[in-house]
Structure 1
Amino acid sequence: MTAAKGLTLRQLGPTVYLPSGVYSIGTGAIAPVLALSATELGASFAVAAVVAGMVGVGQILGAVPAGVLVSRIGERRTMLLGSSLAVPALLACVFASHVLLLAVAVMLVGLTAAAWGVARHAYMAEAVRPELRARAMSTLGGVGRIGTFLGPFAGSVAVHLMGLKGAYLVALGAAVIASVLLLALPEVPHGRPVFAGAAPALRDVIRDNARTLRTLGLAVLLVGALRASRQTILPLWGASLGLEPATIALIYGISGGVDMLLFYPAGKLMDLYGRRSAAVPAMALLGLAFALLPLANGVVGLAAAGVLMGIGNGLSAGLVMTVGADVSPAAGRAQFLGVWRVCADLGAGGGPLLIGAVTAVASLTASAVVVGAAGLLAAGLMYRWLARK
């Protein structure tokens, strides 16, 4: 069969989007309680922050091995393995009796998330019709954001009833349900290219695609940094203005709501007019929002900056996955996408660290300007290295 006979968005609903949404609810449920679990075990705030950050460490460490695993056993088996291994990892979080054990368990949760994410990306890159790729990827990103948004609410109910362990049990249940739903995932509906000999080695894939990783890989790293920085700097700026936590949460929620409304339009824009059409304005708007943040001296100004960030982030929904699928080689696709994910995850981990470092050395205002400049640089790189159509 030909690539034109790939899956449509409607066909992806029950087999890809539904399990992804369920899995994301679990991820969102535990996000607010990771640091709290560490403090319950006697950790300081600084150590608790490190424990919460171990999810990102696990995702970075797990991405490349996940790509290799996909190339050997396939996408569905890797996703099933990842969601299945999440169960003992989450149980380890519940029963951890020492901060170090909790940190290891949290890292394992990140490793399983990496396996899930890389395998899902590789599956979508193979299975979706090329003319629908951006819409499919942006919808996947949107479903994930909705699940992550709903997760803390489900987790809060469970925490109210059972304590902190309730959030982990919500995530455990989500992982089990996602695994069951994955059993209905069909095989890639068009034949993969057949290559003589064994699948290419990871080092060969990296060597053959080094130019792409140096150029667009850097741009994707900046995209990850901007997205993560938005989640950090909005609350910090609100606190610096002396706003109440409830007000800051409302502004953050409005920004997230604007973000979620744009995921499908962003995908359609990329499919119809090329990846540049969404990537460049998205990064420019994010950069501009950060750069203008020092002018926000009250609720209205911070809300305006938050809305602008939401528009920019929403326009970039599915961007990293879409571009990764576009530039991935037919031979060694899964290995490449594992490395590609590392680029994005390094940025996501580095963005908040950059804000902290610049704020410590200079000020929060300086950190906003630096991240804003990174946004404009990302826009320039996307314009330079992405094809027009």
Structure 2
Amino acid sequence: MTTAAPPFDWRKMALPVYLPTLLFAIGEGAIIPIIPIVADGLGATLAIAGLIAAMIMLGHLIGDIPSGWLVSRIGERPAMIGAALVAIVGLGIATLSPNPVVLGLGILIVGIATAVFALARHAFMTTFVPQPYRARALSTLGGTFRLGYFIGPFLAAGVIALTGSTSAVFLIHIVGCVGAAAVLLLLRDPAATFGAGRAAHHAPTPGEAFVAEEVRGLFRTIWESRQILTRLGTGAALIGALRASRAVILPLWAVSIGISDTRTAIIIGIAGGIDFALFYVSGQVMDRFGRLWAAVPSMVGLGAGHLVLAGSGALPGNVVWFIAVAMFLALANGLGSGILMTLGADLADKRNPAPFLGAWRFTGDIGGAAASLVIAAATAAFSLAVASSVMGVLGLLGAGVLLRYVPRFVPRERR
């Protein structure tokens, strides 16, 4: 008779699982707010700066195509180490870029590497974290990214103040990637640590989980999962769209109203602190009351925040409204911390989750990439306020889609 599995030990996850993620996220959090500012300094228009900022999400989308296959083939740790090294290459190109085109290429490479890094960590959590703890563990993972996005902008502001160069901020991400790779190389592979306990209770081993006899391609997985991905996946795409929009539109708005690069980084960093503070609350809500109670309020808040930002241009005190909306959007985003990873983990094949998680992440990143391109196009054709309005309406539509399909595809487990 199979004995019950031992209690899940959170302490074993801190260094090998969360620390590399934190180091990588600090670097990413440092560069995201300054990408449009660097582009503006290289002579890009507001719309072109938005397009360059969109390259990181377009890179995520491209990186999603091979990421599930890659993680299934070589395992989580080698994939993350390789992704960190590729990101360093892209960051080097961005640091030395002489024009917006080269900057966009470097950011695109960073986005591709980030997709592989994030998918590898998500696949590990899905395989080795028991179901009763999953939303909290994945929300903590999301919170680790958010902690990085909180710390990173403050480091960026410090580097800009010390060097007088916004391009120097890319060096923060290079250091973060080097640190993440070093931790992964020096510490024991977490798959071996957690896999031993799971194997003893007849659970899937790391080899069974990550190296299937036949690894399905991304588009085959999308076709086989088309019912979920065309319905609940639409909600995931809209979540990705609103999150990407927030990351792109706030720095662009700051540029448009003349806020300095240092102040922009500080404001976005404070907003990141609010976002980070809610990650565990989101996990508790999802585990106790269901995924819907985190997803819908988050999307309503993100949609409303974009609409308020669009209308703030006609009101006095632009900077004050910008700060208020940035904080409100952070609050709304924090309420949904970990929701995409949790829904993906709920739906994935537990024996080999990476292919479906790649397809799920691809679906969300389609929304993110499309949103970033819509913002750039709407800004070029009309104005940044119109772009923000469009995204606000999409956020409210996304809340309706989630309300319709989350209870259908992710029912609560029987106690």
Q: Size of the alignment, in residue pairs?
A: 388
- Corresponding residue number in structure 1 for 2:190: 186
- The Cα of 1:88 is off from its aligned counterpart by 3.1
What residue identity is the alignment partner of 2:356? Answer: F
Indicate the larger mover: 231-240 or 210-219: 231-240
Q: 1:243, 1:96 → 2: CA distance?
A: 24
Q: 1:56, 1:86 → 2: CA distance?
A: 14
Q: 1:74 to 1:2 in 2, by over 3 A?
A: farther
- Could you tell me whether the CA contact under 8 Å between 1:226 and 1:351 is conserved in 2? yes
SS in 2 for 1:31: helix
Indicate the larger mover: 26-35 or 208-217: 26-35
Q: 1:3 to 1:114 in 2, by over 3 A?
A: farther
- Corresponding residue number in structure 2 for 1:314: 334
Q: 1:307 to 1:156 in 2, by over 3 A?
A: closer
User: Paired residue for 1:170, among 129, 149, 172?
Assistant: 172
- The Cα of 1:149 is off from its aligned counterpart by 2.5
- The Cα of 1:122 is off from its aligned counterpart by 0.7
Q: 2:402, 2:63 → 1: CA distance?
A: 27
Check if 1:375 corresponds to 2:391.
no
SS in 2 for 1:330: coil
Residues 196-226 of structure 1, C-alpha deviations (whole Å, 9 max, x = no match):
9523344432222111111111101111111
Q: 1:85 to 1:56 in 2, by over 3 A?
A: same
- Corresponding residue number in structure 2 for 1:60: 61
Residues 296-334 of structure 1, C-alpha deviations (whole Å, 9 max, x = no match):
535576655444433321111111111111111235521
Q: 1:55 to 1:360 in 2, by over 3 A?
A: closer
Q: Could you state the TM-score of these two structures normalised by the residue count of structure 2? A: 0.80
- The Cα of 1:6 is off from its aligned counterpart by 8.0
- Corresponding residue number in structure 2 for 1:83: 84
- Corresponding residue number in structure 1 for 2:346: 326
Q: 1:352 to 1:223 in 2, by over 3 A?
A: same
Check if 1:138 corresponds to 2:139.
yes
Indicate the larger mover: 299-308 or 170-179: 299-308
Q: 1:335 to 1:231 in 2, by over 3 A?
A: same
User: Paired residue for 1:280, among 287, 293, 296?
Assistant: 296
Q: 1:226 to 1:99 in 2, by over 3 A?
A: closer
Residues 169-192 of structure 1, C-alpha deviations (whole Å, 9 max, x = no match):
322221111012123231152342
- Could you tell me whether the CA contact under 8 Å between 2:46 and 2:379 is conserved in 1? no
Indicate the larger mover: 271-280 or 52-61: 52-61
Q: How does 1:1-16 map to 2 (within 5 A)?
A: 4-5=5-6, 7-16=8-17
Check if 1:348 corresponds to 2:368.
yes
Residues 338-358 of structure 1, C-alpha deviations (whole Å, 9 max, x = no match):
121122222223224434545
Q: 1:362 to 1:92 in 2, by over 3 A?
A: closer
SS in 1 for 2:190: coil
What residue identity is the alignment partner of 1:192? Answer: P
Q: 1:253 to 1:147 in 2, by over 3 A?
A: closer
- Corresponding residue number in structure 1 for 2:21: 20
- The Cα of 1:61 is off from its aligned counterpart by 0.6
